[in-house]
Each structure stands twice: as C-alpha cells, then as structure tokens.
Structure 1
Amino acid sequence: MSNNDAKSILHNYWSLSHFKIIVESTVIGFVTGILIVLFRLAIEKVLQFSLCLYSFLHIHPWLIPIWSIFLILFGLIIGFMVQKEPMIAGSGIPQVKGILIRRLEMSWWKVIIGKFFGAVVGILGGLSLGREGPSVQIGAAVGQGFGKLMKRSKLDERLFITCGASAGLAAAFNAPFAGLMFALEEIHKNFSPLIMVYALVASIVADFVSANFFGLRPVFRFKDLISLPLDKYFVLIILGIITGIFGVLFNKVLLATQKAYQKLIFIPANLRPIIAFLIAGLVGYSLPDVLGGGHGLISKVVTRNYSIRMLIILLIVKFLFTMISYGSSTPGGIFLPLLSIGALTGAIYGKSLTILSIIDKQYITNLIIFAMAGYFSAIVKAPVTGIILIVEMTGSFSHLLSVSIVCLVSYIVSDILNSKPIYEQLLERILSKSVGVYKKQHDSKIVLESFVSVGSQIENKKIKDIKWPENTLVVAVRRGGREIIPRGNTEIWAGDCLVLLVNENKVAEVKKWLENMIEGCKM
C-alpha cells in the first residue's frame, strides 16, 4: 500500500461535505421513519385482532381447531421465509453488527420486505417478540440500500447503515437519543463525533415522522410519579443485584433454547416455528396478557392491582414464552419482552417491600421503571443506552439518578458473573452457522476511526514504536480542531482520533486490536 494510494483514498474520504451527508442522513431518517410507522401500525392492528380473537374463542370454543390450522400456516410461512432469506431471522440487531464489522452481508430490499411481513405474522400469531429489533434492521437496510443506489463507497455505506439503525430504534420507541446511543454504544462501537452528528440527524427526523402519527407523548405514560426518598436508596442497590442476576439467567436460557431447537433433528428446520405458534395458541387462550411484545402488559402491571402470586405467574409464563418465541427464529426483537419481564420483576419486588413496610406503595411504579432499565443493562450490557431509553420512554427525567444506580449495579453484577452482551453471543452463533457470510474483497480498502482512551496501551507512544496490525496504515491523527499528518516520530496522545487505512478483509481483526490497544487500559 503506497503513500499515494493512502492520500488518494483519504482525499476521497474527506471530499464530501458535512452538509451533504447531513442531507443524506435526513433522507435516510425520513424513509426509515415512514417504514417504521407503517410497521408499528401493522403490528398494533394484528395484535389487537389476535387479542379480540382469543376473547371470541372463549365464547365459541368450537373455532379453536380452525385457528390452530391458521397457526400452523403461520409457522409454515415463517419457516419458508427464513429458509429463503436467513438474514431476517430473530432480532436483526446481531446481523447489523455483523455487517458493520464485515463478517456478514445482506440483500437490503429482501430484508426490508421479509423482516416487515415476517414480524407482522409473528405478532399476528401472538408470539412474545418486540418491534425494536426489526425496526433497527429495517433502518439499517434502508441505509445500506441508499448507499448502494447512490453508488457510494463501503465506508459511506457503513455510515448510512449506522444512521438507519439509529433512526429505526428512534422511530420504534419515540426515543431519538436512545436510538443514537444504542447505535454508537452497542452496534457501531465507535463514538466518532461526525458519526454521532449524522446518526442524531437521522434519529431526530425519524422521531419527527413517528411523532406526527403517534403524537409527542412517551411510549409509556406513568402518572403521578413521586421521587424515591434518599433514605430508601438502599432498595435500589438490591434491585440492581436482582436484575443483574436475572439478566444473566435470561441470556443463558435464551441461548440454551436456541440450542434446544437445533437438537430437534427429527423436525425439519423450516417446520420448527410451528412449535412456537401452537404454544402461542395455548398461551393466548389461557393467559392472553403475555401475548405480543409486552407494551400492554407493562401498562397493566402499573395500573392494575395484581397480587404477587399473579405477578409471579405472569413473570414465569412471559419468560418461558419469550424463550420459545425467539428460539423459533421468527423475525422479532427481545427489547419489549425483556422490558416487560423487568417490569414484572420490579412489581414483585415493590409489592414485597410494601408488605414488609419498607416502602410505601406509591413507589412501586418507580421500582417497575428502574427494574426495566436494570434488566436491559444486564442483558444488553449497554447501561448508558438503558438509562436514556427508559427516561425517554417514560418521559420522566426526575429519576435519572435512581435509574443510573440500578443500571450501574446491574451491569457490574452481570460483569462479575462473566455474562457477555446478548447480541454479541447471538452474532457468534450466526457466524458459526455461516449464514450470510460476507464475501471478502482482498484488494478493497476502507477507513476506520478510533479515539485513544486515557490509560490505553499506546498512549504517549510514537507511531514507529507501535506494532500495528498487518496491512494497516495510520493516515491521519485528528487532535482537537486540527489534523496532523502522521510521521514515525508523531506521539499519540489520549483523546486523539486515529484514522486508519486497512484492507477490507482485515476489518474484524483490526477492530479487535483497537478495542484492546486503543480503547482499553494498560495492564
């Protein structure tokens, strides 16, 4: 790789003005917003139909065999769709992560169509799946499609994917900042200021589109919230420990359920979703509150005076039903189901404390909200996103300190128990099955950016003294508002943004090296 090649690629990298990319981010956010609005409307209607149908079946039980035939048909449809396009299976977030590290590839238009209708069929059947995973992947596919239609570089395409993913989550939950933070903290793993601006633009535009259809109110409207007194904050630490342990359990059981489905070798893979749909029929007839993602369940937990016994039943059934639903590979996410499980956990914990006269019952709703955030932090291992997401979804900014404490404790507990982020584990499973593996182009080169953290292993070292990965060239060092042309004697400082030119087939290895050497601390 010659210096002329490096200068040429770097020149092309910076040739597009920031304004142009902001306009393109706006377009991606707008298109993503429209698609997610249609998606949300569709799943709301089919879930409402499903709930009404089960009420009707209680009056006319002779129709149960007919509905069972439809459930089997839904399972066959999902099995066929996933077999034709494996990249639409499950959440979609692990697939987006795989695409960004050049380990997976997808056909953007097939994913948009398949994910949209596959998730709608799953909710029509009543499966315990959320809208956020499909929303993120649909947004990412919009971004990728925009890049391909405009014949843009692989680097720009990755940027557009990040913008689309951020916009997808923002539109799904009316939470633009959570969408931005999730894209940076969990999906992109990069806090580049430029990427942050572009993703924020896409998120705000998508949220604006969504707000025009669903209004400006938060997803969950909890009334009369009273701040928890400081002398009761010890209950938050206990709650963080509980949600941390339960979050680790969630991850282990979810992965075990997927393995259990794979061991059903006597049932063809395309027929296995039928199992989940038939179980959904049994659950829907006996306990319809646990159907769907869990938005309605969370609202009922807050507004209805469930007994602890009933809350425990709902928790167990929702937990197991979510495992079965997601393990079937039906398109759908785990955000809403895990938040509803967290809400049930918080409600049980809160009612138990009131029985013991430790807190007043007026604070139970607070603990429900805090448990949702803590559960998310333990499972996804993205505490900042968890804090922002719950704050935006509830519209309650006065509980930021309380939510932060629970999220932090929960995250630490899951870390002590050596639990890895669920989406990373799901991505490893996808890669092990060689589904949608990226076709590497050995001659193609892309640009990576990474910020040097305080205490990292290359801080205060000269470029020539660092053993860089093979076929990696430092083409620029951005320090504050100026850009430095790197030389062998250039010393790297904490806070520097390194711009690296790497072979496309080495991206995953280089990113791993960056995590250990640049973003990690000295041993």
Structure 2
Amino acid sequence: MVYKLSEDNFNQGNKFREYIFYSIITGVISGFILFFFRYSSNFLMELSKDLYNFFSLNINYAPLFFILLFVLSILMYFNIKNVRESSGGGISRSMALIGGSINFHDNLKIIIATTLGSFLSFFGGLSLGAEGPSVFLGTLIGNEIFNKLNIFNSHLKKVILTVGSAGGFVSALGTPLSAILFSIEENHTISIIDLKNKHTFYLIISIIIGGLSAACIVYLLCYLFNINFILLDVSGNINLNLNYIYIPIIIGVFIGFLSLIYNLIIKNFLIFFLKLKSNNYLSFLLITLAFTLSGFIGLLFIDTSGSGIDIIFHIFEFKYFLYALIFILIIKIFLIGFSTATGSTGGLFLPMLVVGALIGGIIAEFLIIGGLNNSYYGTIVIISMITFMASSVKTPITAFIFCFEISGSFSTSLFSILAIVISLIISNYFNGESLNESILDISLERHNLNKESISNQKYI
C-alpha cells in the first residue's frame, strides 16, 4: 500500500522546514555577532580593572580618573536620551518584544546604542553584566532578520526572536541548555497539553535547534580565540551526600526570604528613580552619581567594581572572611540597585549570581563555624547561587540545568532542586514576583502599556 501525502501534511512539513531553516540562520548570525560583543565586553572589563588598580595605587592621579568617569557619564546620558530603548538590562524589553507588546523598526540604531551603552558601563566599572544586553541584542538581531523576510507569521516571529535571545544568552554565559530553557521559560507559557499543538511543537524544536546552532558558532569562536566557552566554570567541588540533606533545606529557607528582600530593593530603587528621571537634569545627575560612586567605592575596594564575576571566583578560593562577605554583599546590592535605576545599560543576571554566591559564602561560613567540614564550602556556594537565581527570576528548570552546566555535577544539581523548591514556596507564599516581571511592569507602566497585552501573548 502506497501512502499518499496529503496537501495539509505537505504544507505542514514545508512550514516545519521553514521554521528550522530560519532558526538555524538566526542562531548562526546571532551567535557570530554576539561572540564579538562578549569578547569586546570582556576586554573592556579587564581594562577597567587595570585602570582601577592603577589609580588605587597612584591616588595622586585620582582627579584624572573621576574626570574620565564624568566623560563616560555624559556619553551615557546622551546615548540613552537619543535612544531610550538602550537603557537598562534588556531582558525585560526582550520579553516585551517577543510577547508582542512592543515592536522596533529601527533595530540597527538600537543595536548600536545598546552596544555603546554597554561598553560605557563596563569600562566605567558599573555593577552591571553583559548578559542582559546580549539577550536584548540577540532578540533585536532576530527582529531585524524577521523584518527583512517580509513574512506575516506571528508564530515564526516568536521562533526567530526567541532563538535570537537564546543566542544572546549562550554567547554571554556559554551554557547552551540553560540558554534554550531560559528563553522558553521566560518568554513562553507552555503546558503539557500545549505540546500536542503543532505550532508549539514547531516552536520548541526550532528554538532548540536554533539555540544549538548559536552554541556551535560561539564554541568554535571561543576555541579559535582561545577563551573559555563557559564563563562561570566552577566544577571540581566535593559533592554532598544524604547525611547533609539539611543543608539545601537551610539554603532554601534563607534564600527564599533574601530573594524577596533583594527583588524589593531593586524594584523600589527603580520606582523611586523613575520619578526623579522625569527631569533631564536629575537624570543626568543620577547617571553621573552612579559612575562616581562606583569609581569611589571601587578605588577603596577593588573587588566591588564591575559586574562582580571575580568576586564569585574569589569566594571559591576562600579569599573572604565572614565580615568581608557581609560587607561586600551590602555594597554590591546598593551599587546594583543604584546603577540599574539610573537606566545605565547593563544586565542584572550576573550581578544576581554574585549576590547569590555572597549569600552562599555567608551561609557556608556559619555552617563551618557550627562544625561542618570546609571541603563542602564551594558546593554550598553553588547551590545558594543557583537557588537565588531560581527564586529571584522564577526560572527553576533553567536554574537546575544551569547548575549542572557550570558545576558538572548531577549530584549537586539534585540537591539544588530541594533548595529551589523550598525557596520558591516561601517566595510564592509572600507573593514574590519575578525580578524581570517587576522590571517589565515598571517599564510598561512608564510607556503607558498594559501588562495584560504581553501576558496574553506569552501563551502559545
């Protein structure tokens, strides 16, 4: 018996191949472009560290340092003023763009402004990361590709933009599986029933293939340029066993409450500064203060400058005592909140991991004082960092996979599940909202948009 392909099946097959084709194209292009964004960002961050070290050792030249920061703040102010879409981290705007509540036609202009603003933040040592702008840039690249296609297909647009955002995530952090899951988990609400829908099936498979295409390009370029593919490689720590099941419970309880406090602090910074930024002079003053405070505190305490990735590695190297961890935690939360609220370009994802790692270090110190072997210090920090991420942005599946990718330990990932579940129970009990959702709320309110429009668009 010969099976005859129906016209509907033939059209569906063509549509699926079309989704796959454009996903691969978007993944390759976004991965290639955003690798060089990561490479340039890392270069500027290293250069910024060298400047901070030089001026901290040669304090007589400090006036030149603050003049430089003042110039950077002027450039940042005019960059944001000319292209308002370049301000902030970008993940919330990426969500809005994928959700359909906003649309950009001048993508190239926003890409250039976001790149410039990010470079100014990184060179100036603001407490912001590259992952937020990278995700936003990837989404903009996807949007530009879709606009060039001249195809009116909302499902295909979601696929292309989501692949672009996944390409941005994997380019910044080098974790392809969590990049794909983050892009799906943050931008699309999918139930088990939805998986029977062909459009949902096309979307998921296309995002996976597109995200892996971006990962392959980034991995190849990392190899050619001799840099680490995974930005946060914290493998090699001793695994916990069932005798220490109480540790993730303790972590989950503390992180559940502390993530609520952290999100509330960042949200209130944004709300308070939003009122002040209606005045152009105050807006400029706040940006100048962000650079000046970051510079002043950074000269006194070098580790507090920049995104804070060095802090994470220093924690694993036991370079901080308990009081130092508490002090740096307070300083970093203040600088993160202040820098973000001014609208300076830069992401919150990596700084959020820094806060989680600092909390983990503090918890580990207290447990060691209580008699725990210090060989488990690094594992406690990893679980705390991952749990804080899951509780703060409400992406538990991504957090679990991210834990496995950066630690290389399935056992540690399993222990992190317990901590994540407990922290989310506490956070949800007190109506804790995702940090990205909170930022999106404030952004949409500022532009007189209704969040309901994007919430409806998240459902496939």
Q: Normalising by structure 1, what TM-score? A: 0.79
How far apart are the structure 2 equivalents of 1:217 and 1:150? 32
* Residue 340 of structure 1: how far off its partner (Å): 0.7
- Superposed, 1:10-21 pairs within 5 Å as 14=12, 16-21=14-19
**Does residue 363 of the first structure (1) align with residue 363 of the second (2)?**
no
1:172 maps to: 172
Aligned equivalent of 1:428, options 434, 441, 457: 441
Return 373-382 or 190-199, whichever deviates more.
190-199
Change (3 A) 1:112 1:14: farther
Change (3 A) 1:34 1:511: closer
How far apart are the structure 1 equivalents of 2:102 and 2:10? 25
* 1:220-264 deviation digits (Å, cap 9, x = unpaired): 333532211201111211111111111111111001111232343
**Does residue 208 of the first structure (1) align with residue 207 of the second (2)?**
no
How far apart are the structure 2 equivalents of 1:393 and 1:110? 34
**Which amino acid is 2:205 matched to?**
V
Which one has the bigger strand percentage?
A: 1
* Residue 17 of structure 1: how far off its partner (Å): 3.0
**Which amino acid is 1:112 matched to?**
I
* 1:3-23 deviation digits (Å, cap 9, x = unpaired): xxxxxxx99995843223212
**Does residue 412 of the first structure (1) align with residue 425 of the second (2)?**
yes
**Mapped contact 1:143–1:163 kept (Cα < 8 A):** yes
Change (3 A) 1:142 1:119: same
Corresponding residue SS for 1:318: helix
Return 14-23 or 243-252, whichever deviates more.
14-23
**Does residue 84 of the first structure (1) align with residue 97 of the second (2)?**
no
**Does residue 195 of the first structure (1) align with residue 194 of the second (2)?**
no
How far apart are the structure 1 equivalents of 2:187 and 2:235? 33
How far apart are the structure 2 equivalents of 1:35 and 1:250? 33
* Residue 508 of structure 1: how far off its partner (Å): 4.4
**Which amino acid is 2:234 matched to?**
F
- Superposed, 1:88-487 pairs within 5 Å as 88-106=86-104, 107-155=106-154, 156-190=156-190, 192-215=200-223, 218-264=230-276, 267-357=281-371, 359-434=372-447
**Which amino acid is 1:170 matched to?**
V
- Superposed, 1:34-113 pairs within 5 Å as 34-106=32-104, 107-113=106-112
* Residue 401 of structure 1: how far off its partner (Å): 0.9
**Mapped contact 1:97–1:188 kept (Cα < 8 A):** no
Q: Normalising by structure 2, what TM-score? A: 0.89
* 1:459-505 deviation digits (Å, cap 9, x = unpaired): xxxxxxxxxxxxxxxxxxxxxxxxxxxxxxxxxxxxxxxxxxxxxxx
**Mapped contact 2:45–2:122 kept (Cα < 8 A):** yes
How far apart are the structure 2 equivalents of 1:212 and 1:396? 24
How far apart are the structure 2 equivalents of 1:123 and 1:12? 50
How far apart are the structure 1 equivalents of 2:403 and 2:187? 19
Change (3 A) 1:302 1:99: same
**Which amino acid is 1:27 matched to?**
I
How far apart are the structure 2 equivalents of 1:327 and 1:270? 12
**Mapped contact 2:173–2:232 kept (Cα < 8 A):** no
**Mapped contact 1:144–1:158 kept (Cα < 8 A):** no
**Mapped contact 1:218–1:394 kept (Cα < 8 A):** no
* Residue 271 of structure 1: how far off its partner (Å): 4.2
**Which amino acid is 2:179 matched to?**
G
2:4 maps to: none
Corresponding residue SS for 1:331: coil
Corresponding residue SS for 1:268: helix
Alignment size in residue pairs = 437
How far apart are the structure 2 equivalents of 1:187 and 1:65? 45
RMSD: 2.4
**Which amino acid is 2:265 matched to?**
V
How far apart are the structure 2 equivalents of 1:132 and 1:174? 11
**Mapped contact 1:171–1:203 kept (Cα < 8 A):** no
Q: Which runs of 5+ in 1 are unaligned?
A: 1-9, 439-505, 516-523
Change (3 A) 1:217 1:425: closer
How far apart are the structure 1 equivalents of 2:95 and 2:231? 26
Corresponding residue SS for 1:399: helix
How far apart are the structure 2 equivalents of 1:96 and 1:326? 16
How far apart are the structure 2 equivalents of 1:291 and 1:19? 47
Structure number with bigger Rg = 1
